[in-house]
Homo-oligomer: A and B are copies of this chain.
Amino acid sequence: MRRTALLLALAVALSGPLHAQHATKIGNAAMTTAGKLREQALQADTGWKVVESLTTEVGPRLAGSEADARAVTWAIAKFKALGYDKVWTQPVSFPRWERRSESVHVLGGSSQSLHATALGGSPGGTVEGEIVRFADLASLEAAPAGSLAGKIAYVDHTMSRARDGSGYGAASRIRTRGPSAAIRAGATGYIMRSAGTDLHRNPHTGITRFDEGLAPIPAASLSLPDAQQLTRLLDIGPVRLRIALDCGWNGEYTSQNVIGEITGRSKPNEVVVIGGHLDSWDQGTGAIDDAAGVGITMAAGHLIGSLPKAQRPARTIRVIAFANEEQGLHGGVAYAKSQAGNIRNHQIGAESDFGAGRIYAFQSKVPDYAKQALGQIAMALEPLGIEWRTDGEGCGPDVGPIASLGMACAGLAQDGTDYFDYHHTPDDTLDKIDPQALAQNVAAYAVFAYLSADAQGDFGSAPKPAEAGK
């Protein structure tokens, strides 16, 4: 959005009935400081160094693995090294899922291995059966009970590429709901074309779940080239597949949300929450998902913490490296539970969990009285090439649970055009991140966190009954 358009949007936003007596606003000094933070962030490489450190020294960090504990230790040490005023942890318990080995093989005259990976939450087991292909989830869900007896269901949907990742909705539902639909039709195994947009031999994993009362079956995803291969083989004739997975649930584990704070100047008990998640899937080093989010927000807090004390924002900046996002937002849920009685002290929250592409939009659904302040933040973000979407909502996964309790929430939308080329694959590694784009993200989070933490007035956080199923 160009500046004129932005001002127009601001004017429109303010044209509704305004309770002028308590309109939230941001002071000129804060706007000046935010501008300096923005320029400092673009010159710095703190975010990059944090991402490099986590992905290199810890590497892959599946929730519940030994690397999970190393990641927690790393995060505590990194917050301290970055000069955070207060560093603390919050226990997060969850069932532990382990991946040990996996193979998928075409049997018969075209015998060959396919590159596949177990879906998170899949049980182990070896199944052989004829493949029955479905073009989409709806077709599988329409398969009559018993119609897949002894067979392996294959959902062959091709995810579409989009800047906002909108193709992931349909694709990830095939991962989360497909296995249960296959079981209902009698299938003994489940396989899907990965929810991804690349053409490399890297299958995309991700959590699945099995509906209550169903006996879980081995469930895996094929890399995109392997799915094309299976589809070509099916065009020639029937295909029998062997899926052999050694994986499954194994006890409970307690990890930690790791939290670093830059204490506020005058309202230290009120917080702006930013963060990312510390865990990753096991095959890549979790660079874009989500070392980037951890690095962006740790670096943003660090920049704010490096300001002269008198320029500190009124409220505290709380940066959270959430535990086990991948397997069910466990860290986000634990945080929300612990803060259920403290919603009003949460000024606003935002999470970075969509890679490291440049941020192109800023959006938040706030009461009318807070729109002026939101517009001021948008104006400070605009030099970063970020447009204000006055009609947009947005909230990252781990701040979702507390947002559903009433915390105000903002979205800094990243360009995710390439995100699903690497997401949940071995290919999610440091080399996929552009340092300049990462610095732009740090700048945006620093500006957003600083200005919202220093605003006079609030963004509408207020307790409300928890929504189901968040």
A: which residues have CB within 8 A of B? 52, 56-60, 66-67, 70, 106, 109-113, 115, 199-202, 224-225, 228-229, 232-233, 236, 284-285, 425-427, 429-432
A285 touches B229 (CB 8 A): yes
Give Cα A425–Cα B426 distance, bound, in whole angstroms. 15
- Give A5 Cβ to nearest chain B Cβ, in Å: 38
Task: Give Cα A338 to B325, complex, Å.
Answer: 64
Asked whether B201 lies within 8 Å of A202 as measured between CB atoms, the reply is yes
Q: Which 9 A-B pairs have the closest CB atoms?
A: A59-B112, A201-B426, A225-B429, A56-B232, A199-B431, A57-B110, A201-B427, A225-B431, A200-B200
A110–B59 contact, CB under 8 A? Answer: yes
- Chain B residue, CB-CB nearest to A225: B429
26 cross-chain CB contacts under 8 A: A56-B110, A56-B232, A56-B236, A57-B109, A57-B110, A57-B233, A57-B236, A58-B110, A59-B106, A59-B111, A66-B111, A67-B111, A67-B112, A70-B109, A199-B432, A200-B200, A200-B202, A200-B427, A201-B202, A201-B284, A201-B426, A225-B427, A225-B429, A225-B430, A225-B431, A229-B430
CB-defined contacts of A233 to chain B, threshold 8 Å = 56-57
Docked pose: A58 CA to B199 CA in angstroms:
20
Contact of A430 among B113, B115, B228, B427 (CB under 8 A): B228
A201 touches B429 (CB 8 A): yes
Given A57-B110, A200-B200: 13 more A-B contacts, CB < 8 Å: A56-B236, A57-B236, A59-B229, A67-B112, A115-B426, A199-B432, A200-B427, A201-B429, A225-B427, A225-B430, A228-B429, A229-B429, A232-B430
Question: Taking CB as reference atom, which chain B residue is nearest A432?
Answer: B199
A72, chain B: closest CB distance, angstroms:
14
